[in-house]
Amino acid sequence: MLFSSAVFLFFFLPAVVFCYYVLLRKSRLLQNIFLFSASLAFYAWGEPKFVFVMLLSILANWFFGLMVHRFKSKKAVVRFILTLATGFNLGILFIFKYLMFSLESINSLFGAQLTVPVIALPIGISFFTFQAFSYVLDVNRGVGEVQKNPLYVGLYISFFPQLIAGPIVRYATIAKEIKYRKETLDDFTSGVTRFITGFLKKVLLANTMAIVADHAFDSKGGLSVAFAWLGVFAYAFQIYFDFSGYSDMAIGLGKMFGFHFLENFNYPYISKSISEFWRRWHISLGTWFRDYVYFPLGGSRVKSKSRLVFNLFVVWFLTGVWHGANRTFILWGLMYFVLITAEKLTGFENRFKKFGWLKYVYTMTFVLFGWVLFRSNNLTAAGEYLLSMFGFAGNPLFDGAFQLHFTQYFIFFVSCA
């Protein structure tokens, strides 16, 4: 069920609000049971069978959290439990998201003939798996209360506002609000406003930019230089307004029910370094990898540069893989690994302050190159598109497709900018 769908806007959301505030307003327990049930129904609307995958994740991580808390004084036991939790959560992701890709890659690289099963991908599995794992890790770190009732863990993991497209809500962020939140009229009206803002970003801007981007990236007859650039700018706007729009809607919906999620975007396209861009883009994912992977590995406070490079490689390889089972995503992540490593080793962010405009051009150029990788179906298509952007594909500077799309959608490009 999509937030922009008629069934969500005119049936599901009004029904949930009415039941929550009118029928169940006197019982927090009943409100939580209802929100959990409504969230499962929301997820089951499109993929009923995958509700069982989510329920398995909820119960397993609830159990891991209990065991970590119970044996918190026995470090060896806790390490063993955390190892099991890591294997379980990564195992779910691997089976549903990466098994087919892995087997196909083995067949392609080594000429093997392994049977590749067709496995459907549960929507939002990357988001709810990271949230579920966050619960166990935050209980271990002592920054969130262990929940003896699986209902509360289930509500945290499955809560419908952030279930499909994030943000990735850390357990520590809303641990207290699960049982002790306070709804206010100001929060409710602010949430409605934020939801409408995100809805308009998604429907008016992202969906319109998608038309231009799709025509450019799916073009079979060659691209002019101008249309190739127009297409990648359109995709940059599309992915930002789509993703940040969904985050706005999630934050707004959360506020309507008394939950306060952290911001997920902070004007990333004004950045003057790649490092700054990633402090502003998909903040919940970046901080998740920072706190649960980068810092435990030693972060930047290590004795050798080689160790720093290794830590960054792990984070950015995983970041690329998290986004999808495709070589394009892996290369996209590794591109950012190279750029951010270079910036850290050279102190780039604190240098060349008089050339802010040049740093901005550098940053946005590589961000756009990255979006070509991200949007393309494979590395060959990405390479061909990049060649078209610079006129190395025997393509003209301008063509009718550029003139048509630029003229027809000019006002939307101006609105996005």
Q: Does 186 map to a domain?
A: no
Q: Does 65 map to a domain?
A: yes
1: its two tokens: 């069920």
What pLDDT digit, counting tens, does each position of 266-276 carry?
999 999 999 99
Last residue of a domain, one of 156, 181, 206: 181
SS3 157: helix
What's the average model confidence in pLDDT over 324-344?
Answer: 97
The per-residue pLDDT for 352 is: 85
User: Is the model's pLDDT at 391 over the cut of 80?
Assistant: yes
Q: How many domains does the chain have?
A: 2
**Rg of the chain, C-alpha, whole Å:** 23
Query: Cα torsion for 170, 153, 43, 186, to the nearest 10°?
Result: -60
Amino acid (1-letter code) at residue 281: W
Q: Which residues contact 380 (CB under 8 A, 6 or more apart)?
A: none
- How far is the CA of 88 from the CAs of 56, 82, 263, 268, in angstroms? 10, 10, 29, 34
- How far is the CA of 135 from the CAs of 132, 158, 257, 337, 346, in angstroms? 5, 12, 21, 28, 37
pTM of the model: 0.94
The per-residue pLDDT for 393 is: 83
User: Is the model's pLDDT at 360 over the cut of 80?
Assistant: yes
The per-residue pLDDT for 303 is: 86
The per-residue pLDDT for 265 is: 98
Looking at the structure, tell me whether residues 299 and 400 fall in a common domain: yes
The per-residue pLDDT for 148 is: 94
Looking at the structure, tell me whether residues 151 and 205 fall in a common domain: no
Handedness of CA 320, 326, 328, 331 (dihedral sign): positive
Looking at the structure, tell me whether residues 144 and 204 fall in a common domain: no
Last residue of a domain, one of 181, 203, 236: 181
Q: Does 292 map to a domain?
A: yes
User: Is the model's pLDDT at 354 over the cut of 90?
Assistant: no
What's the average model confidence in pLDDT over 209-231?
Answer: 92
Q: Does 341 map to a domain?
A: yes
User: Is the model's pLDDT at 165 over the cut of 80?
Assistant: yes
The per-residue pLDDT for 158 is: 96
Q: Which residues contact 412 (CB under 8 A, 6 or more apart)?
A: 204, 205, 208, 209
User: How far apart are the C-alpha atoms of 393 and 215, rounded to whole Å?
Assistant: 18
Looking at the structure, tell me whether residues 257 and 296 fall in a common domain: yes
Q: Determine contact, residues 275/349, Cβ cutoff 8 Å.
A: yes
Last residue of a domain, one of 146, 181, 216: 181
Looking at the structure, tell me whether residues 199 and 84 fall in a common domain: no
Instruction: Pick the catalytic residue from 69, 215, 282, 323.
Output: 323
323 carries an active-site annotation: yes
Which residue carries 């003057």 as its tokens?
A: 272
Largest CA distance in the chain: 70
Q: Does 220 map to a domain?
A: yes
Query: Cα torsion for 143, 149, 152, 156, to the nearest 10°?
Result: 60
Looking at the structure, tell me whether residues 197 and 85 fall in a common domain: no
Q: Does 187 map to a domain?
A: no
The per-residue pLDDT for 90 is: 96
Looking at the structure, tell me whether residues 166 and 18 fall in a common domain: yes
Q: Does 188 map to a domain?
A: no
Helix residue spans in 218-326 (DSSP H): 225-256, 274-280, 283-289, 295-297, 305-323
Looking at the structure, tell me whether residues 165 and 243 fall in a common domain: no
Handedness of CA 64, 65, 66, 68 (dihedral sign): positive
What's the average model confidence in pLDDT over 76-83?
Answer: 96
Looking at the structure, tell me whether residues 368 and 256 fall in a common domain: yes
pLDDT-derived band at 87 (thresholds 50, 70, 90) equals: very high
The per-residue pLDDT for 394 is: 83
Transcribe 22-70 into DSSP letters: IISTT-HHHHHHHHHHHHHHHHHTT-GGGHHHHHHHHHHHHHHHHHHHH
Q: Determine contact, residues 133/139, Cβ cutoff 8 Å.
A: no
Tell me the residue range of the domain where 214 lies: 193-416
Percentage of the chain beyond pLDDT 70 is: 100
Query: Cα torsion for 290, 295, 296, 297, to the nearest 10°?
Result: 100
**Among 223, 263, 270, 226, which residue's Cα sits nearest to residue 394?**
223
